[in-house]
Amino acid sequence: MKGREKLCAKLSSAFLRKWWFVVAVSIGFLLFGIIVVIFFMSWVKLVINHEVTLRDGTQAFGWWAKPPVTPIIRIYIYNVTNADEFLNNGSKPIVDELGPYVYTEKWEKKNITFHENGTLSFNQEKIYYFDESQSAGSEDDVVVVPNIPMLSATSQSKHAARFLRLAMASIMDILKIKPFVEVSVGQLLWGYEDPLLKLAKDVVPKEQKLPYEEFGLMYNKNGTSQDRLTVFTGASDITKYGLIDKWNGKSNLSHYTTDQCNSVEGSDGSIFPPHMTKNTTIHIFDKDLCRRLPLVFDKEVVASSDIPAYRFTPPKNVFGSVEENPDNACFCPQGPPCAPSGFFNVSLCQYDSPILLSFPHFYLANDSYRTAFEGISPPDPEKHNFYIDVQPIMGTAMSAKARVQVNLAVSQVIDIKQVATFPDIIFPIIWFEEGLESLPAEMTNLMGLATTVPPIARATIAGILFGLGAVLLVIAIWRLVRGANRLSSLHLAPGHISQTNKTKDVPMSNVPKY
Ligand SMILES: *[C@@H]1O[C@H](CO)[C@@H](O)[C@H](O)[C@H]1NC(C)=O
Ligand SMILES: *[C@@H]1O[C@H](CO)[C@@H](O)[C@H](O)[C@H]1NC(C)=O
Ligand SMILES: *[C@@H]1O[C@H](CO)[C@@H](O)[C@H](O)[C@H]1NC(C)=O
Ligand SMILES: *[C@@H]1O[C@H](CO)[C@@H](O)[C@H](O)[C@H]1NC(C)=O
Ligand SMILES: *[C@@H]1O[C@H](CO)[C@@H](O)[C@H](O)[C@H]1NC(C)=O
Ligand SMILES: *[C@@H]1O[C@H](CO)[C@@H](O)[C@H](O)[C@H]1NC(C)=O
Ligand SMILES: *[C@@H]1O[C@H](CO)[C@@H](O)[C@H](O)[C@H]1NC(C)=O
Ligand SMILES: *[C@@H]1O[C@H](CO)[C@@H](O)[C@H](O)[C@H]1NC(C)=O
Ligand SMILES: *[C@@H]1O[C@H](CO)[C@@H](O)[C@H](O)[C@H]1NC(C)=O
């Protein structure tokens, strides 16, 4: 009797021990599943951070240094068709928007030097090729536009001594300089000899501004930039990945009144710190913009090859007046008066020329600036907004349309007879759209993997672990409960258990080995 009970206890405890082990394993599976759910994305993050970091020889570095993309710049020119009536009869200026004149670009980072502290320096090269087939005209088209060097000089002389203005008038008389110039599109963009700049170069001391004798809106832009940029590679701090540390050795501009406005810590527009959210404000620094431009989340879009992306655009008050956007006060160091709402004064970066930037067709500015001209259609956000689509996980720009209009803020100067009838006006010259349309398949494929695989992998692995854990747990508990029931029946009526009963109850496969 005693020995039989002992055998039973021994049997059942070994039997139970086995199923308790299964319970432990299944709980292990469940715990591991929870760990996967919690930490999988962090591991993916670490892998992505490692992959995007700019290191010599990696694919990400190659794509960054020599992007396998063809950016396109489309340029629209406001041709003035009634220049004489505007000057002589005070007619409303009529402009004819010509274009697009299309250039394809090739970008490459030159002379790349790595530094110890997780930064690298380079010079940006941009080569422009005129694309006749996409353009609505040729580079030889003749256009009539305001004479920017002349009107800059006259507008600047507004507060100078009167005799200086009179002297200026006679010089302009001798040189036959007129307030409007007739130049080809190629000349307007890439440079033509300007008598005033030539004169200035000869007479003004060397160290004072205006280093060129040619004038062109994109003069000297075809080739390698002299500006040396130092950017963060992401090796030391991934949150600064792709951001500019120094521009020509300086970490701040000196034009404005606060560090916030002088900061150059923005992206060049190609790569951004990874893992952005919809709350992230990204910044783009461009030297011609003369500041860094903030961009905020606008909407989710599907960029090329079905990759989901976030569209970032400048906030509506980005160029707002100080009343609308107090943050802009520091961009007006000599103000008031400051640039009107919707315009940004870049004269400090343009040798004091009164150049104001805006969005095309005066988008976001008071409509009265547009209706001061005939021939400019109302702005359409679809066509005239500035945006960039970024793959938020990797921080790569997928597509972009950087749209900017260049305007000249002319001040009337009565003493200079050539421009005496040129009223105070903000005159649009050109607008352009620098765009990135799609990335090559090799890049989008990788991004597709990076965005779609991790969630699927996480769900799959977690699902398998949870499923396996749950099934094992259920079986084990069921077995344990059954075992416990039988055990209690054994204990209640030990004498009535027969050998045959036992073998019937416990399948052979479950008989533990002694
Ligand atoms: C620009 O306007 C002028 C008249 O002011 C005209 O002669 C010229 O043909 C126009 N250019 C183009 C390309 O239409
Ligand atoms: C401009 O004024 C001149 C002379 O005053 C006149 O002959 C011409 O018709 C006017 N043009 C326009 C467009 O009003
Ligand atoms: C590359 O940059 C370094 C550091 O600024 C400079 O000394 C060197 O001359 C540059 N080399 C070329 C080929 O531009
Ligand atoms: C990193 O080193 C470079 C070169 O020595 C220097 O110009 C740059 O300011 C440094 N950047 C930081 C963030 O320390
Ligand atoms: C830019 O320079 C390249 C050669 O360096 C030349 O082939 C191309 O025509 C130039 N583009 C323009 C618009 O001048
Ligand atoms: C540049 O700006 C940063 C903050 O944006 C500030 O800490 C730093 O002192 C400034 N450097 C200079 C040289 O003004
Ligand atoms: C993002 O913005 C929303 C709404 O303003 C806010 O509730 C949320 O906490 C923000 N998230 C982060 C990460 O800042
Ligand atoms: C633009 O800025 C310059 C320099 O700060 C200033 O002299 C000029 O008046 C400004 N122009 C406008 C239209 O605000
Ligand atoms: C636009 O400017 C006009 C005149 O300058 C002014 O009366 C009007 O209130 C302005 N509109 C807005 C929306 O600011």
285 Cα–ligand 6 center, Å: 16
The CA angle 437-289-374, to the nearest 5 degrees, is: 80
Task: Quickly tell me which residue has 């990076």 as its tokens.
Answer: 450
Task: Tell which one of 209, 257, 332, 345 to mutate to probe ligand 8, the residue whose CB is within 8 A of the most ligand atoms.
Answer: 345
Read off the pLDDT of residues 256-278 as tens digits, 9 standing for 90 and up.
989 999 999 999 999 999 999 99
β-bridge partners, 428? 407
Report percent pLDDT > 70 for the chain: 91
Mean residue pLDDT across the chain: 89
CA 359, CA 364: separation in Å to the nearest integer?
Answer: 7
- Strand extents, DSSP E, 166-222: 180-184, 192-193, 214-215
Which pairing describes strands 291-302 and 308-313: parallel, antiparallel, or unpaired? antiparallel
Nearest protein Cα to ligand 9, atom 12: 366
55-77: average pLDDT: 94
Asked if residues 297 and 310 have their Cβ atoms less than 8 Å apart, the reply is yes
Nearest residue to 403 via CA among 366, 374, 362: 362
Instruction: Please determine, for residue 81, whether its predicted confidence score (pLDDT) is greater than 50.
Output: yes
Ligand 6 pocket test, pick from 251, 291, 330 with the greatest ligand atom count within 8 Å of Cβ, gives 251
Mean pLDDT, rounded, for 459-464: 92
DSSP characters for 356-383?
EEE-GGGTTS-HHHHHTSBS-PPP-HHH
Exposure letters 252-288 (e unless 16+ CB within 10 A, then b): bbebbeeeebbbbbbbbbbbbbbbbeeebebbbbbee
Sign of torsion, CA 506 508 513 514? positive
Cα–Cα distance between 57 and 11 in angstroms, integer?
A: 64
Q: How far is the CA of 290 from the centre of ligand 6 (A)?
A: 17
pLDDT beyond 70 at 429: yes
What's the pLDDT score for residue 514?
Answer: 44
Ligand closest to CA 275: 7
Q: What is the pLDDT of residues 474-488, one digit of tens each?
A: 998 888 888 777 767
Tell which atom from ligand 4 comes closest to the C-alpha of 251. Answer: 9
Please give the number of the atom of ligand 3 that sits closest to the Cα of 111. 1
Q: Whose CA is nearest to atom 13 of ligand 1?
A: 141
Using the mean position of ligand 5's atoms as its centre, give its distance from the Cα of residue 190 in Å: 10
**Rounded to an integer, what distance in angstroms lies between the CA atom of residue 458 and that of residue 456?**
5
> Predicted confidence band at 19 (pLDDT cuts at 50, 70, 90)?
confident
Within 6 A (CB) of ligand 6 lie: 251-252, 259, 263
pLDDT-derived band at 3, boundaries 50, 70, 90:
low
Instruction: Identify which ligand lies nearest to the alpha carbon of 358.
Output: 8
Q: Which residues line ligand 2 at a C-beta cut-off of 6 Å?
A: 85, 88-89, 91
Element (H, E) at 17: helix 2-52
pLDDT band, very low/low/confident/very high, at 513 (cuts 50, 70, 90):
very low
Please give the pLDDT value at position 490: 63
Does the pLDDT value for residue 428 go beyond 90? yes
pLDDT, residue 506, reads 46
CA-proximal residue: ligand 5, atom 3 (nearest): 127
> At 110, is the secondary structure helix, strand, or coil?
strand
Which helix (H) or strand (E) covers residue 450, if one does? helix 441-492
The rounded Å distance from CA 344 to ligand 8 centre is: 10
Residue 318 to residue 354: CA distance in whole angstroms: 20
User: Is 0.85 topped by the overall pTM?
Assistant: yes
Domain positions in the chain: 1-68+455-492, 69-439
In a 13 Å sphere around the CA of 477, the CA atoms on its Cβ side amount to: 8
**DSSP string computed for 293-311:** EEEEEEEEEE-GGG-EEEE
CA gap 413, 402 in Å, rounded: 34
The ligand whose atoms approach the alpha carbon of 341 most closely is: 9
Closest C-alpha residue for ligand 6 atom 5: 259
Beta carbon of 277 within 6 Å of any ligand 7 atom: yes
Tokens of 419: 């421009």
Q: Among 143, 181, 184, 188, which is best to mutate for testing ligand 1, by the most ligand atoms less than 8 A from CB?
A: 143
> Which atom of ligand 9 lies closest to the CA of 367?
1
Atom of ligand 8 nearest to the CA of 409: 13
Tell me whether residue 8 is exposed, middle or buried, using C-beta atoms within 10 angstroms of its C-beta: 0 to 12, 13 to 18, 19 or more. Answer: middle
Q: Span 229-251, mean pLDDT?
A: 94
Residue with CA at minimum distance from ligand 6 atom 3: 259
Is pLDDT above 80 for 375? Answer: yes
Mean pLDDT of 284-301: 94
Q: Measure the CA dihedral 230/231/233/236, to 10°.
A: 90
Segment 21-50 mean pLDDT: 90
User: Quick one: pLDDT band at residue 335, thresholds 50, 70, 90?
Assistant: confident
Nearest one of 377, 375, 321, 360 to 344, comparing CA atoms: 321
Which stretches of 163-205 are assigned E, i.e. beta strand?
Answer: 180-184, 192-193
pLDDT band of 10, cuts 50, 70, 90? low
- Residue-wise pLDDT for 496-511, tens only, equals 544 544 444 444 444 4
Nearest of 421, 243, 261 to residue 335 by alpha carbon:
261
Full DSSP string of 476-506: HHHHHHHHHHHHHHHHH-GGG--HHHHHHHS
